[in-house]
A and B are shown apart, each in its own frame.
Chain A
């Protein structure tokens, strides 16, 4: 395991304590290491509660890891000070599972999208920024009439594409997608994943796609990691995972998805 990929994590661990009276320790993530080469997509599959989102949050610096480190393009980004982290945030962006609640309910769509550029001082002036948003909306098949709407007035699929557009205004190198389509129905899911694939080729993005759906991962990703109980037990290419899984858990997971 090396950290020369675009994004790599080494020995990441995180545990939570739960309960007030009887304190219980939950090892959400246990010693996870992987590395994603630039321009490729890595997938992480695993059942609910196995620690996938916790990894994503640690990579984003939203929660501090108990142990281990995160590297972006060879540079350690975990444990940075707030000011330094801000510049990192431009290069690595995350899309969450819940499109409807990913936008401030009291703000118009356009304001929410522009905010990313305002925070980082990308482009000068509102007109230029809006022009950029229009470009991205066009690319994602979104109508600009959505600009003046509020989050409760758009569909889940639209919301998710809007969040993707907002992330892209910062021209990130890495996108972390934490179950980006699991709340959407099948046809929209396929549409958004295809869009993301196109974007990857057009912009040379590096992806970390988190999903419990092995089928989606196999189609989308170059490499796939299998997680259970906080540990990354196996990683391999799609053929390796599908055809010669090493771990019994992986075998069971594959069978459950591709049982005939």
Chain B
């Protein structure tokens, strides 16, 4: 592993195609910061995010409450600190599940081709055609709102993204001479798929994993805002914006703070996903010797 790392670095300096970009560094720092704050929220938060205090409701930012308090006197800063935990976890779980499902299906379709592929492609097209948000609202409506239905909705609407990409990549890789060579050696399909094709897919899968996790975050926030996802009194950015609707005019901070968090988080993930794409694309060229 160390060796590999080193050779990649050598290639990078040789080619000098990649420079450290200040924007990427900022995005990375921001993401790490948000993740750390979310992770250590119980230690960092000045107040209990559920603690009501009617005497100090709707206070503007002050020394005791840096971001003010909400309609029932809960500390906004503390709720912001807690507010990414559940949606991040949910987005990660949903994207992880979608990835697993999509990879398995895409590999089967791409590798075996023929009728199997036709059927899988037809099914994917149906799923692809469904507008994501509509589907999510429908599922939440059918199964009742809550974490499980949100997870299900997210997986159902995003596995196709993975399976399409994986199918395409596998079809390309399958044509490579090394795969034919392995068949000639007597390697079975499982060995070829799991030990050879799989590892060659990791780069491209990582890229869409990153982009998808950002859009899953947004979906979780939107569903929670609509009251279909995480429910009050959970400290969650989407729920917080939803709660803020009534008092937004008096205390804009109630909506601005969670809104800014959602934007910063998805922005930083998207920037990093782009950076990852650039980096992996360069290496793909080098490996193929183009």
Interface residues of A (CB under 8 A from B): 60, 62, 82, 85-86, 89-90, 93-94, 96-98, 100-107, 115-116, 119-120, 148, 150-153, 163, 166-167, 170
Q: Is the CB of A119 within 8 A of B3?
A: no
Q: Which of B177, B187, B286, B289 contacts A96 (CB under 8 A)?
A: B177
Complex interface residues of chain B between 128 and 143 (CB less than 8 A to chain A): none
Interface residues of B (CB under 8 A from A): 3-4, 7, 176-178, 180-188, 191, 196, 199-200, 286-289
Q: Which of A85, A105, A116 contacts B287 (CB under 8 A)?
A: A105
- Chain B contacts for A86, CB-based, 8 A: 186, 188
The answer for the CA separation of A104 and B177 in the assembled complex, in Å, is 9
The answer for the CA separation of A93 and B180 in the assembled complex, in Å, is 12
- Chain B contacts for A115, CB-based, 8 A: 182, 185, 187
- Chain A contacts for B196, CB-based, 8 A: 104, 106-107
For the complex of A and B, list the 4 residue pairs with the smallest distance between their C-beta atoms, beginning with the closest: A89-B186, A101-B177, A105-B287, A86-B186
The answer for the CA separation of A39 and B181 in the assembled complex, in Å, is 24
Chain A nearest Cβ from B111, distance in angstroms: 15
Most buried by B among A60, A85, A104: A104
Q: Is the CB of B186 within 8 A of A90?
A: yes
Main secondary structure of the interface of B (DSSP, over half): helix
Q: Is the CB of A82 within 8 A of B188?
A: yes
Other than A101-B288, A105-B200, A166-B185, give 9 A-B pairs with Cβ distance below 8 A.
A62-B180, A62-B183, A89-B185, A101-B178, A106-B200, A119-B185, A119-B186, A150-B4, A152-B289
Q: Is the CB of A104 within 8 A of B185?
A: no
The answer for the CA separation of A19 and B181 in the assembled complex, in Å, is 27
Q: Which residue on chain B has the smallest CB distance to residue A85?
A: B186
Chain A nearest Cβ from B140, distance in angstroms: 41
Given A119-B191, A150-B7, are A103 and B184 also a contact pair (CB < 8 Å)?
A: no
Q: Is the CB of B7 within 8 A of A153?
A: yes
Given A101-B177, A105-B287, are A148 and B3 also a contact pair (CB < 8 Å)?
A: yes
- Chain B contacts for A163, CB-based, 8 A: 181
- Chain B contacts for A107, CB-based, 8 A: 196
Chain B nearest Cβ from A118, distance in angstroms: 9
Given A152-B289, A153-B7, are A116 and B199 also a contact pair (CB < 8 Å)?
A: no
The answer for the CA separation of A101 and B180 in the assembled complex, in Å, is 10
The answer for the CA separation of A97 and B3 in the assembled complex, in Å, is 29
Q: Is the CB of B184 within 8 A of A62?
A: yes
Q: Is the CB of A103 within 8 A of B188?
A: no
Q: Is the CB of A94 within 8 A of B7?
A: no
- Chain A contacts for B289, CB-based, 8 A: 100, 152
The answer for the CA separation of A66 and B55 in the assembled complex, in Å, is 86
16 A-B residue pairs with CB within 8 Å: A60-B184, A82-B188, A86-B188, A89-B184, A89-B185, A97-B177, A98-B177, A101-B176, A102-B177, A105-B178, A107-B196, A119-B191, A120-B186, A150-B4, A151-B287, A163-B181
The answer for the CA separation of A166 and B287 in the assembled complex, in Å, is 21
- Chain A contacts for B200, CB-based, 8 A: 104-106
The answer for the CA separation of A8 and B202 in the assembled complex, in Å, is 43
The answer for the CA separation of A167 and B185 in the assembled complex, in Å, is 7
The answer for the CA separation of A152 and B115 in the assembled complex, in Å, is 36
Q: Is the CB of A105 within 8 A of B185?
A: no
The answer for the CA separation of A116 and B185 in the assembled complex, in Å, is 6
- Chain A contacts for B183, CB-based, 8 A: 62
The answer for the CA separation of A47 and B274 in the assembled complex, in Å, is 46
Chain A nearest Cβ from B275, distance in angstroms: 22
- Chain B contacts for A103, CB-based, 8 A: 178, 181
Q: Which residue on chain A has the smallest CB distance to residue B11?
A: A152
Q: Which residue on chain A has the smallest CB distance to residue B203?
A: A106
Q: Is the CB of A96 within 8 A of B181?
A: yes
Chain A nearest Cβ from B191, distance in angstroms: 7
- Chain A contacts for B286, CB-based, 8 A: 152
Q: Is the CB of A102 within 8 A of B186?
A: no
The answer for the CA separation of A152 and B4 in the assembled complex, in Å, is 12
Q: Is the CB of A152 within 8 A of B287?
A: yes
